[in-house]
C-alpha cells in the first residue's frame, strides 16, 4: 500500500511539473508573439511618417508646421492615440526604401495607386483624386496678347508632345505616365528624370523658363499657378487617378485601421476644410511670398539673426530657442500676458529688471535677456546633478514656464515615489502633472503648492515637438 501511495505521489509531482512547464511555455509564446503593425505603432507610442516638403504637403509658416499631409497625419495620430513623428524626403525611391527597411510606418505623399507599385507596397483607400496635367510656360508678354494667340502657342493636343523634352521627378507616376504617352502617340518624347528635384521645384523651373515642360497633379499645379501666373496647366495627360498613402505589405492591421478612420473622416466638413485650405485657398500666394514661409525664405522668424547672435550664452541649438519664443509670444514683440509678462520672451517685470530690460527695450534686448534667464536656470540644474544636456533641456523649459520651485517639487515627489529625479519623461513629468492634485501638492516634500501641471507638461512637449519640425526645414548654421 505504501508503494502504491509513493508511486501515486510521484505521478502527481510529474503531472504538476508538466503543467508548470506547459504554462511557462505558453507564457513565453505569448510574450514572443510578434506584434502586428498596428500593435507595434501603439506600443512604440508614435506613428513615423515620411512626407515631402512643398507648399501643399508640409512646410513651416509663421513658426508653425502646416500642410495637407501634415494635418491629416496629425489627426490620424490622435485617432491612434500616439505621437506623430515626421521625416522629410523628396526622393520617392528613397521613401520606398525607408518603408521597406522599417524606418517609417507610412509614406504620406500624393502617391498615385498603380499596379506596379501595388506589387511592392499596400495602399490605403484614396485620400483624394486628381489627374495629371502638362505644366508649360505661357508666351512672353502673355498679359498683352489675346487669349486666342496664347492658345495657338500652347500644347493642347498630346500628340504635339512628340519630339519635346519633358522633365519629371524620378520614379514618380509622372515618369510612368509620360513614358506610356510616348508609346501611345507612336513617337518619342525625350524624358529627363530628376533625382533631386520634386514636382513644385520643377514647376518653378518652367515658370522661370529654365525647362520647357513638366508634369504635375492638377490640384498641385493649380496651387502653383497662383504663385506663377505665367504657367499654363490646362492640358490633361491622364484620366482622374486615386492618390493614397503607402504601407508595408507585412500585415493588414494598420491599413485596416487607417482605412476605417479615413473613410469616416473624408465625409466630414473638417476634411473638406483642410483640402480647400491647401488646394483652393487664394491666400496661399501670400503665404509662399512671405518671409515666414520656410521653404522659400529659409527662416523661422524675422528674429532668427538675433537668436543666433546671443545663442553663445546658452549654447543650445538656436532653433530650439526659436521654438520656445514661438510658444511664448508667437514672435509678437508687443505680446503681453494677463500676468504681466511681455515681449518676445515673455519676461515677468521683476525678471526683466534683473536682466536689465523693460517694456521699452528693443526686441533683440528682450531676446538676450530671455536667453540669459535660460542660462541661469540651466546652471541651477547643472549644480543639482542633471549632467545630460538633452535631459536638462526639458527641466529648463518646464522651469521657464512654471518656475524652478515647482519643478524642484516635482523632482522631490518623483524621488519619494521611487522615480528618477534626473529624468523628465515618465518620471518628473509624471509628478508635475500631479501637482494640481491635493494629494500631491499637500505632500510635506512640496514647498510651492499647487500648479497647473498639465500646462507645463504640454509646454515642454510642444516646444520640443515644434523644434523637431524646424530641424526638418531649417539648417542649424
> Active-site residue numbers?
328
Report the distance separating Cα 18 and Cα 21, nearest Å: 5
Contact 220, 110 (CB under 8 A): yes
Residue 52 phi, psi dihedral angles, 5° rounding: -110, 155
Q: How many CB atoms lie within 10 A of CB 83?
A: 15
Residue 213 phi, psi dihedral angles, 5° rounding: -140, 150
Name the pairing type of β-strands 190-194 and 165-169. Answer: parallel
Q: How many CB atoms lie within 10 A of CB 459?
A: 19
Report the distance separating Cα 45 and Cα 37, nearest Å: 12
Report the distance separating Cα 415 and Cα 408, nearest Å: 11
Contact 249, 120 (CB under 8 A): yes
Q: How many CB atoms lie within 10 A of CB 426?
A: 10
Burial 192-202 (b: 16+ CB within 10 A, else e): ebbeebbbbeb
Which among 458, 460, 436, 461 is positioned nearest to 448, based on CA atoms?
A: 436
Amino acid at each position: 500500500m505504501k508503494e502504491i501511495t509513493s508511486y501515486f505521489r510521484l505521478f502527481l509531482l510529474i503531472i504538476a511539473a508538466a503543467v508548470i512547464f506547459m504554462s511557462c511555455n505558453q507564457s513565453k509564446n505569448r510574450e514572443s508573439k510578434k506584434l502586428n503593425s498596428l500593435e507595434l505603432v501603439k506600443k512604440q507610442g508614435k506613428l513615423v511618417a515620411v512626407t515631402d516638403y512643398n507648399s501643399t504637403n508640409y512646410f513651416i509658416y509663421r513658426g508653425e508646421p502646416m500642410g495637407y499631409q501634415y494635418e491629416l497625419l496629425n489627426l490620424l495620430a490622435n485617432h491612434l492615440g500616439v505621437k506623430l513623428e515626421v521625416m522629410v524626403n523628396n526622393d520617392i525611391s528613397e521613401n520606398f526604401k525607408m518603408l521597406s527597411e522599417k524606418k517609417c510606418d507610412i509614406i504620406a505623399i500624393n502617391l498615385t495607386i498603380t499596379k506596379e507599385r501595388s506589387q511592392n507596397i499596400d495602399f490605403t483607400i484614396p485620400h483624394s483624386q486628381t489627374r495629371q496635367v502638362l505644366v508649360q510656360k505661357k508666351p512672353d508678354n502673355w498679359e498683352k496678347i489675346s487669349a486666342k494667340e496664347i492658345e495657338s502657342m500652347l500644347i493642347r493636343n498630346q500628340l504635339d508632345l512628340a519630339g519635346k523634352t519633358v522633365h519629371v521627378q524620378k520614379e514618380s507616376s509622372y515618369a510612368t505616365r509620360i513614358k506610356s504617352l510616348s508609346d501611345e502617340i507612336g513617337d518619342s518624347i525625350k524624358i529627363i528624370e530628376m533625382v533631386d528635384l520634386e514636382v513644385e521645384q520643377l514647376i518653378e523651373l518652367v515658370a522661370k523658363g529654365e525647362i520647357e515642360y513638366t508634369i504635375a497633379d492638377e490640384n498641385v499645379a493649380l496651387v502653383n499657378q497662383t504663385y506663377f501666373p505665367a504657367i499654363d496647366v490646362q492640358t490633361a495627360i491622364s484620366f482622374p487617378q486615386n492618390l493614397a498613402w503607402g504601407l508595408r505589405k507585412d500585415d493588414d492591421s494598420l491599413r485596416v485601421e487607417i482605412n476605417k478612420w479615413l473613410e469616416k473622416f473624408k465625409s466630414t466638413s473638417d476634411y473638406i476644410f483642410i483640402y480647400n485650405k491647401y488646394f483652393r485657398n487664394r491666400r496661399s500666394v501670400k503665404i509662399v511670398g512671405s518671409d515666414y514661409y520656410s521653404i522659400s525664405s529659409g527662416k523661422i522668424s524675422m528674429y532668427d539673426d538675433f537668436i543666433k547672435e546671443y545663442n553663445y550664452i546658452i549654447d543650445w541649438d538656436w532653433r530650439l530657442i526659436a521654438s520656445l519664443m514661438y510658444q511664448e509670444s508667437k514672435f509678437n514683440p508687443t505680446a503681453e500676458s494677463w500676468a504681466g509678462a511681455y515681449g518676445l520672451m515673455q519676461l515677468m517685470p521683476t525678471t526683466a529688471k534683473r536682466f536689465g530690460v523693460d517694456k521699452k527695450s528693443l526686441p533683440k534686448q528682450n531676446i538676450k535677456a530671455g536667453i540669459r534667464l535660460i542660462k541661469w536656470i540651466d546652471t541651477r540644474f547643472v549644480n543639482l546633478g542633471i549632467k545630460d544636456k538633452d535631459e536638462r533641456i526639458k527641466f529648463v523649459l518646464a522651469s521657464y514656464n512654471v518656475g524652478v520651485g515647482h519643478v524642484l517639487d516635482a523632482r522631490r515627489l518623483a524621488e519619494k515615489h521611487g522615480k528618477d529625479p534626473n529624468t523628465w519623461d515618465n518620471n518628473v513629468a509624471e509628478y508635475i502633472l500631479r501637482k494640481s492634485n491635493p494629494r500631491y501638492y499637500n505632500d510635506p516634500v512640496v514647498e510651492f503648492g499647487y500648479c497647473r501641471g498639465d500646462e507645463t507638461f504640454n509646454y515642454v512637449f510642444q516646444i520640443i515637438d515644434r523644434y523637431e519640425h524646424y530641424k526638418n526645414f531649417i539648417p542649424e548654421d
